[in-house]
Structure 1
Amino acid sequence: MGKFNVVICILGVIYLVYSFLSRNKVTIYNISCKMVVLNEEKFLNLQLYFSIVNSILMIIIGLIIALVNLGLTYIIASVLLFHTINYLLRSVAKSKKYISFN
């Protein structure tokens, strides 16, 4: 097992704990995003659900990469998946009118 494979699992667990600890705060990982929250309670719930799914996927992908001993491309793909899910959160929240962008 490579050390980067285990790091993905550990980061997934840390992100899961972080998502529960910061469930009452808006966390968007794109700094250039100027966002206005229209419905804070529903957005925070949606953000929590996406964070849970994101961290579980990170743990599962990290375990698969560690067990099968896949290469660096799969590790980079897991990072891209993390950012894709966060982008999907913004898209879903915008379509449900929980947020708007200036």
Structure 2
Amino acid sequence: MREKIIAIYRTSASYPGNERDKDNCFMQWKLTDNEFEKLWQLNIWEKLGEVCNLDIGRFDDVEFTGENLHKARDFLLKKCLECDVPEIRKLKSFFENGIIRKTGVIFSF
């Protein structure tokens, strides 16, 4: 089964599957099946896709860059205010760090 990874890289040209780019990783979250499913049941993946006009599925690699980092962060901030879910807070922190580092957030599911 493929790992479910959310990552921020020092440059946006790296993906979690590239062994040679492990040194380029700034932050990485290997989601457990329970964490992924919890966010799936809350429709977080679907809503992020709608907000950012991206197709996020169970077996996709998706990169958030530029304005989409801000759109995703704003959406997750709103969700954090609606419900206190640790996984949503953690996901929001990835987008905040992506904005600060001026790089991208990559989903590899």
TM-score, normalised via structure 2 length = 0.30
Q: Bigger radius of gyration, 1 or 2?
A: 1
User: Looking at both structures, which has the greater relative contact order when contacts are Cα pairs under 8 Å and sequence separation is at least 6?
Assistant: 1
